[in-house]
Amino acid sequence: MQKRGVQVGSAAEAQIFGAEVLVWGKAVIEAQGMTIGVLLEHCLKTRYYEPVYDGEGRKKGGVRSFKTVESHIKTIAAFFRSVKQGEGKEAEYIGGMKVCEINVASLRAFRKELLKDREIPTANRILSTLRAILNEAMVNDWIVVNPFAKARKGELITTADERERETILTPAEEQRLLEACSIRSRRHLKALVVAALDTGDDELVFGVSTNVKDSWEAARKDADLDHVRFHDLRHTAATRLARQMELVFVGHVLGHSDPKTTRRCVNKTQNWLRRGVEDNAEAIPEMSAQKIFRAADQILRAGRTINAQPEEYRN
């Protein structure tokens, strides 16, 4: 195993470690007894507290997704054996595993425990919070290396397994996103989001100000939709339109000159098409279920045809 270009356990690594001790020695040695409870309390008081805004609605400190992070910290504390002492707002995390003893093996065990009753995306978000907390320990010289950095790439936080690149929002996800856009400082963003979801028009966001981009990043984080890109709202609109009209007309609405572009915008999974059939059967009585199923089948076949083509013919 290599570390910084030298063999682990070699004399060269010992020299590197010795140099690190000279630089960070005092802080690292003093932090040897630091428990995860102490570190969690530090982060809750200095980083992960309820957001504070100024008179213009700008965030001065804290995190907008405080409740989510707070639940992550509670899960982390429980696994690493930290408990809360005190009552109400005065309660503080104490004890637990020593921070310097958290290694790749313990992180693997934590991930395994998380996945017993959680989906991969949820486990990834909790692990990401723990990684950020351990980074806080590292920047304060309480540990020399974050153990996440020692794990193989993708071993602990496997974002590639979460979603396909093109995401279609569910009604519940749309509701969370719109709620996150409803605060006063994001009213300008909500109008863009509604337009993209209803019409597929996302051109307004290209070249917009940093303020809108920052608001979008904050809103999707608050809605727990970090994986969603603004362009995914266009795909969502296309998929919904495809439930109610033929694909050629969806292309006209979205301004596509090439039908293949429309097919790429339309989600081609069986669940979404089945749901579209059920929705339309109730909402549009004059359109028979048989016709809707035929349209769904056409979209599915079109999707398979596109996906079967070489990459250079898909664009």
* Element spanning 76, H or E: helix 66-79
In this structure, the answer to whether residues 173 and 274 fall within a common structural domain is yes
Of 161, 192, 221, the last residue of a domain is 161
Q: Are 230 and 213 in contact (CB under 8 A)?
A: no
Tokens of 51: 């957001």
What does the block give as tokens for 170? 């569910």
What type of residue is 246? E
> Is residue 11 assigned to a domain?
no
Return the structure tokens found at 77.
């504390």
Nearest to 125 by CA among 224, 48, 228: 224
Count of CB atoms within 10 A of residue 267's CB?
20
**Burial category of 43 from C-beta neighbours within 10 Å (exposed 0-12, middle 13-18, buried 19 and up):** buried
Orientation angle between helical segments 210-222 and 171-180, nearest 10 degrees: 130
Burial (0-12, 13-18, 19+ Cβ within 10 Å), 299:
buried
Give, for all 315 residues of the chain, the pLDDT tens digit: 444 444 555 666 666 556 555 555 556 656 678 999 999 999 999 999 998 888 877 778 888 778 889 999 999 999 999 999 988 888 999 999 999 999 999 999 999 999 999 988 889 999 999 999 999 999 998 998 999 999 998 899 987 665 545 678 888 899 999 999 999 888 888 888 888 887 766 555 544 455 678 888 899 999 998 888 887 887 787 777 777 777 767 776 666 666 666 666 665 544 455 555 555 555 444 445 555 555 555 544 544 443 443 443 333
**DSSP-assigned letter for residue 52:** E
Whether residues 118 and 172 share a domain: the answer is no
Q: Which two tokens stand for residue 130?
A: 């723990």
Determine the structural domain holding residue 183 and report its residue range.
163-315
Q: For residue 285, give both structure tokens.
A: 């009585």
Same domain, 65 and 209: no
Residue 10 is assigned to a structural domain of this protein: no
- Asked if 245 and 265 sit in the same domain, the reply is yes
Longest dimension (CA), the chain: 80
Does residue 116 sit in the same domain as residue 75?
A: yes
Domain co-membership, 139 together with 183 = no
**Within a domain: residue 255?**
yes
Backbone angles phi, psi at 7, to 5 degrees: -75, 130
Residues 114, 219, single domain; the answer is: no
Residues 42 and 128 in one domain: yes
Domain-located, residue 22: no
